[in-house]
Amino acid sequence: MKTYIRSASSISPQNTFGENGILTDIVESVGTRLKAIEPDYKQYIDPKLIRRMSHVIKMGVSAAKDCLNRAGVEMPGAIITGTAFGCMEDTVAFLTRIIELNEEMLPPTAFIQSTHNTVAAQIALMLQCHEYNNTFVHKGVSFENALLDAVMLLNEGEADNILVGGTEEMIDVSFTVLTRLGLYKRHPLSNLDLYKEESKGTIGGEGASFFLLTDKPSTANMAELVALKTLYKPDGIEQNITTFLADNDLTIADIDLIITGRNGDIKNDKIYNELSQSLFADKLTANYKHLCGEYPTSSSFALWLAANCIKNGKVPTIVADSDMAPKKVLIYNQYQGNYHSLMLLSAC
């Protein structure tokens, strides 16, 4: 059974939300951290609820509602999200109050909203959706596993119009900790110059991207999600990619565009550099993390980008200089060298 992306919506450090087009107005930022450009949440959330919602919840709910609006669907058949860090702002707030109040008379709101499934739960509560609701917390492949769960639901005929999203927020505390662990660069630079120097570390990011999946063919669908696969510490990634394509009756010659998770870190990018000299040689290759930053579910932004490239028949110049209208797109991302994922998209 085929799986189609009916609609997509993304809140990111770029002007990707709403009717802003596909990366036509690029935002440059100098530093080591990219912050999401937040929309007017009052259009999607009751103002009385906004003040009690953390950053990631507001992003997730708004992106999910916009995704449904784009498809003209009021009620999804299931809600599935993926996140690695969850609601960091509420988690830190609750832990801080434990210390400040000496573990007595703790306000419960931050604790209630600190769990990883809060975004999916809030979407369901606001829509009054009582259908299947699940959240995957699988580090660098959290979004991919949420996507896989949705595909299985469609194949089993359990649901249609499944809302799938990847969410992550960056707060000061987590940014400081991850910087000390060496994940991010120690000197400021422009995000547009991320790939111009070889040094340790990358730039932090955040965002929320949602997709509505269906098994019903339609001219309104954005793209077909042909296949996806996750790998943990694989031996021979080139052979794994070749096998992945062969399982779908394709070779690398059939792929029009390859989107990679290159992030500017000299260690992280080694595998991409090797592939660019071998399997990916002479192929149109695009990068995306200079636009959204690095975070565990950034592959959801890559999927949003790929689906829009196929639907609109063009590739934004900020990611690749080409006039090609891609029909088949391969996304290859890896997170911290351990978590690898492959997603294959095709025109409907």
Determine the pLDDT at residue 44.
94
pLDDT, one tens digit per residue, over 202-254 is 999 999 999 999 999 999 999 999 999 999 999 999 999 999 999 999 999 99
Determine the pLDDT at residue 95.
87
Q: Are residues 24 and 119 in the same domain?
A: yes
Residues 14/27, Cβ–Cβ less than 8 Å: yes
Instruction: Say whether pLDDT at 20 is over 80.
Output: no
The model carries a pTM of: 0.96
Determine the pLDDT at residue 188.
95
Q: How much of the chain exceeds pLDDT 90, in percent?
A: 84
Which region, left, alpha or beta, applies to residue 239 given φ > 0 means left and ψ of -120 to 50 means alpha? alpha
Determine the pLDDT at residue 78.
98
Instruction: State phi, psi for 181 to the nearest 5 degrees.
Output: -80, -5
Q: Which domain holds residue 320?
A: 224-346
Arithmetic mean of pLDDT, 101-119:
85
Q: Are residues 198 and 324 in the same domain?
A: no
Determine the pLDDT at residue 307.
98
pLDDT band at 43 (very low <50, low <70, confident <90, very high): very high
Determine the pLDDT at residue 101.
86
* DSSP summary character for residue 260: E
In 3D space, the residue among 171, 136, 172 whose CA is nearest the CA of residue 151 turns out to be 136
Instruction: Say whether pLDDT at 21 is over 80.
Output: no
Residues 162/212, Cβ–Cβ less than 8 Å: yes
Tokens 């090609």 sit on residue: 324
pLDDT, one tens digit per residue, over 132-190 is 999 999 999 999 999 999 999 999 999 999 999 999 999 999 999 999 999 999 999 99
Q: Are residues 209 and 237 in the same domain?
A: no
* DSSP summary character for residue 125: H
Instruction: Say whether pLDDT at 51 is over 90.
Output: no
* Euclidean distance between CA atoms 193 and 179, whole angstroms: 19
Q: Are residues 97 and 51 in the same domain?
A: yes
Q: Are residues 201 and 320 in the same domain?
A: no
The tally of domains found in the chain comes to 2
Among 163, 187, 214, the domain-final residue is: 214
* DSSP summary character for residue 27: P
Determine the pLDDT at residue 80.
98
Question: Could you tell me the CATH number of the domain that includes residue 95?
Answer: 3.40.47.10
Q: Are residues 187 and 240 in the same domain?
A: no
Determine the pLDDT at residue 345.
98
pLDDT band at 335 (very low <50, low <70, confident <90, very high): very high
Tokens 């990358």 sit on residue: 202
pLDDT band at 346 (very low <50, low <70, confident <90, very high): very high
* Euclidean distance between CA atoms 299 and 260, whole angstroms: 9
Residue 219 falls inside a structural domain: no
Determine the pLDDT at residue 198.
85
Determine the pLDDT at residue 154.
97
In 3D space, the residue among 141, 163, 166, 140 whose CA is nearest the CA of residue 150 turns out to be 163
Query: CB 109: neighbour CB atoms within 10 A?
Result: 13
* Euclidean distance between CA atoms 269 and 69, whole angstroms: 37
Arithmetic mean of pLDDT, 53-70:
96
Residue 9 falls inside a structural domain: yes
pLDDT band at 343 (very low <50, low <70, confident <90, very high): very high
Arithmetic mean of pLDDT, 257-276:
96
Residue 276 falls inside a structural domain: yes
